[in-house]
């Protein structure tokens, strides 16, 4: 056991803000990433439509249970590691620094893909809404570029400002979904049926597909650890926010999916979901409430997407910050503002978003010019490509990372359980890790279905390939750092700020 040498260069910025975020603030930011209204309107209907099963509500419960078991070891490890690059730091400390660097690049691919992909749906929905209500035709990418500016401005300001904005938006999402649930239970054309709560509907041939489509609804829940350095009390705030988010999301989605089935009717919900898709929720509310309320729901659907965009943007900015601080990426990424915001990472994520959106927009214009040839593909281009491709890739990457984290927990506590139980350090990580690995394999096996492709094409293989490519490149870069910059290599995963580095005796692991 030896203490690592002090880093040769430490950023002169003040660093991330300290003791800023409490349990409610972090919980809201986690839930914002999952976009509750978007999940109920889009995720639930997609699950019913694609799986053809009534087991969707219980599917959310099962996923919540798996993630809650995962959180046992995940949050236990967080008591001993506080780092804005959560996955990266945990895997570095549990499985070795090269794997940690590989995980960091997978995390950057995952969070950027989720964030930029959501822009595609945001731009399309806002453009269509304005044209339907005001006759104002506008390109989908215009609204994305304007949104990127707003997200970027919030990203370089105090994190509690983002938390307040997201808190309001998430609160409104919950309110409108609760109203939808009440209306659904009141309409109930086949009575308040519990058909979709029958376990036999879940534990059948469609189980794997239900979990594949349902797990994306929870992506972002693991993000509490990313805010550990900014939490008021990391050892308590982060675990409480993680468990609260899993419980709230799981229960809320399960109840709303059940209410959805009751409102449409269990015998009709699959067929109606296949017919209307994500519009089913708004069509239903337009028929049973008023057009005005349906329009309000549509606007909140759009703000739900904005909340998710901001949440994932914040996560990417902090990963860049952590990697720059520790020398894995150029030190420029570690710059923070006087308010403790990782402005360099925020700017980097903004630039990535602009470049990717511009690329899709240029290709989309070509489709638009030949709309008669491509039909629906041209009209729904940002949804069928940008949104579908990138968010599914990001979700797959995050599931893989969580499975690896479960192994990292076992590795971290292997020699010293630090007074924790066998359940916390071994059993829970093994159970959740195997379950998450199985879900990841199912995602790969059904990736064509997730992309809504009749036949596999290049994207079916290239998109998942990006995940593995990022991991391999990261591992190789970690090995290069080990031989060329041993001081940088030694502090990988340990941080360099007061409170994150140099405050505890760290074990130097032989990773040759």
Find the mean pLDDT for residues 174-186: 92
- Length of the chain, in residues: 512
Angle of CA points 100, 26, 312, to nearest 5°: 55
Reduced to 3 states, what is the DSSP secondary structure of residue 231? strand
> In whole angstroms, what is the distance from residue 444 CA to residue 438 CA?
10
Digit-coded pLDDT (tens) for 355-373: 999 999 888 765 554 444 4
Residues 6+ apart with CB under 8 A from 66: 432, 435, 436, 439
Torsion angle in degrees (nearest 10) through CA of 382, 388, 219, 149: -20
pLDDT of residue 3: 45
Angle of CA points 236, 422, 395, to nearest 5°: 60
Q: Is the dihedral of CA 171, 173, 176, 181 positive or negative?
A: negative
pLDDT of residue 160: 64
In the predicted model, is pLDDT for residue 512 greater than 80? no
In the predicted model, is pLDDT for residue 165 greater than 50? yes
Cα end-to-end span (Å), the chain: 17
Structure tokens at 134: 């005001």
Mean pLDDT of the chain: 84
Other Cβ atoms less than 10 A from the Cβ of 215: the count is 25
In the predicted model, is pLDDT for residue 145 greater than 90? yes
> In whole angstroms, what is the distance from residue 164 CA to residue 146 CA?
21
In the predicted model, is pLDDT for residue 221 greater than 80? no
In the predicted model, is pLDDT for residue 449 greater than 50? yes
Other Cβ atoms less than 10 A from the Cβ of 240: the count is 18
Find the mean pLDDT for residues 325-352: 88
500 sits in which H/E element: none
φ/ψ region of 19 (left if φ > 0, alpha if ψ in -120 to 50, else beta) reads left
* Residue pair 218/67 in contact by the 8 Å Cβ criterion: yes
pLDDT of residue 352: 95
* Chain centre distance of CA 305: 12
Digit-coded pLDDT (tens) for 10-60: 445 655 656 667 788 888 778 877 778 888 888 888 889 888 889 999 999
pLDDT of residue 374: 45
Q: State pTM to two decimals.
A: 0.87
Long-range contacts of residues 199-202, Cβ cutoff 8 Å, at least 24 apart: 199/58, 201/53, 201/54, 201/55, 201/58, 202/53, 202/55, 202/58, 202/59, 202/62
pLDDT of residue 370: 44
| Of residues 394, 406, 391, the one with CA closest to residue 437 | 406
Structure tokens at 109: 């691919």
pLDDT of residue 235: 81
CATH of domain 23-490: 1.20.1740.10
In order, the DSSP letters of 409-444 are HHHHTSS--TT--HIIIIIHHHHHHHHHHHHHHHHH
Which range is least confidently modeled, 210-214, 373-377, 453-457? 373-377
pLDDT of residue 224: 76
Give the CA distances from residue 36 to residues 26, 260, 476, in Å, rounded to whole numbers and listed in that order: 16, 14, 38
Other Cβ atoms less than 10 A from the Cβ of 273: the count is 25
> In whole angstroms, what is the distance from residue 184 CA to residue 337 CA?
47
The domains of the chain are located at 23-490
> In whole angstroms, what is the distance from residue 378 CA to residue 456 CA?
20
> In whole angstroms, what is the distance from residue 48 CA to residue 269 CA?
7
**Cβ burial, residue 158 (10 Å; 0-12/13-18/19+):** middle
Digit-coded pLDDT (tens) for 222-231: 777 777 777 7
Phi then psi for residue 404, to 5 deg, are -70, -40
């Amino acid at each position: 056991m030896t203490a690592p040498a002090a880093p040769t260069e430490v950023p002169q910025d003040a660093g991330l803000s300290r003791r800023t975020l409490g349990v409610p603030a972090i919980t809201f930011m986690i839930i914002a990433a999952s976009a509750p209204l978007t999940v109920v309107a889009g995720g639930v209907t997609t699950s019913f439509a694609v799986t053809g099963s009534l087991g969707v509500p219980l599917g959310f419960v099962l996923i919540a249970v798996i993630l809650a078991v995962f959180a046992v070891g995940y949050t236990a490890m967080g008591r001993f590691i506080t780092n804005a690059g959560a996955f990266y730091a945990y895997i570095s400390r549990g499985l070795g620094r090269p794997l940690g660097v590989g995980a960091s690049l997978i995390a950057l691919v995952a969070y950027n893909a989720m964030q930029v992909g959501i822009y595609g749906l945001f731009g399309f929905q806002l453009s269509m809404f304005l044209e339907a209500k005001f006759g104002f035709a506008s390109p989908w990418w215009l609204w994305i570029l304007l949104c990127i500016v707003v997200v970027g401005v919030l990203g370089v300001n105090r994190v509690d400002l983002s938390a307040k904005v997201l808190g309001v938006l998430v609160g409104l999402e919950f309110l409108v979904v609760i109203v939808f649930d009440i209306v659904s239970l009141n309409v109930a054309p086949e009575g308040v049926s519990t058909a979709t709560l029958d376990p036999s509907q879940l534990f059948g041939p469609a189980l794997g597909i239900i979990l594949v489509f349902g797990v994306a609804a929870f992506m972002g829940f693991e993000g509490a650890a990313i805010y550990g350095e900014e939490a008021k009390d990391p050892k308590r705030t982060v675990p409480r926010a993680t468990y609260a988010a899993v419980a709230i999301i799981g229960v809320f989605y399960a109840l709303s999916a059940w209410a959805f089935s009751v409102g449409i009717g269990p015998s009709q919900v699959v067929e109606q979901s296949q017919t209307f898709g994500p519009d089913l929720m708004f069509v239903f509310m337009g028929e049973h409430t008023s057009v005005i309320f349906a329009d309000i729901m549509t606007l909140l659907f759009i703000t739900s997407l904005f909340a998710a965009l901001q949440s994932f943007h914040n996560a990417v900015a902090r990963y860049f910050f952590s990697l720059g601080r520790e020398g894995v990426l150029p030190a420029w990424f570690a710059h923070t503002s006087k308010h403790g915001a990782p402005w360099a990472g925020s700017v980097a994520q903004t630039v990535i978003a602009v470049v990717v959106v511009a690329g899709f927009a240029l290709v989309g214009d070509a489709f638009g010019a030949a709309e008669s040839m491509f039909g629906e593909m041209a009209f729904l281009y940002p949804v069928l490509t940008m949104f579908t491709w990138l968010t599914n890739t990001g979700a797959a990457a995050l599931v893989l990372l969580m499975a690896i984290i479960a192994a990292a927990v076992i590795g971290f506590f292997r020699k010293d359980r630090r007074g924790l139980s066998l359940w916390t350090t071994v059993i829970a990580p093994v159970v959740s890790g195997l379950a998450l690995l199985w879900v990841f394999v199912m995602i790969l096996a059904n990736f064509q279905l997730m992309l809504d492709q009749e036949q596999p094409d290049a994207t079916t293989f290239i998109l998942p390939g990006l995940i593995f490519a990022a991991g391999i490149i990261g591992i190789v870069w970690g090995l290069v750092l080990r031989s060329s910059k041993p001081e940088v290599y030694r502090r990988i995963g340990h941080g360099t700020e007061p409170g994150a580095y140099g405050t505890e005796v760290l074990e130097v692991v032989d990773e040759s």
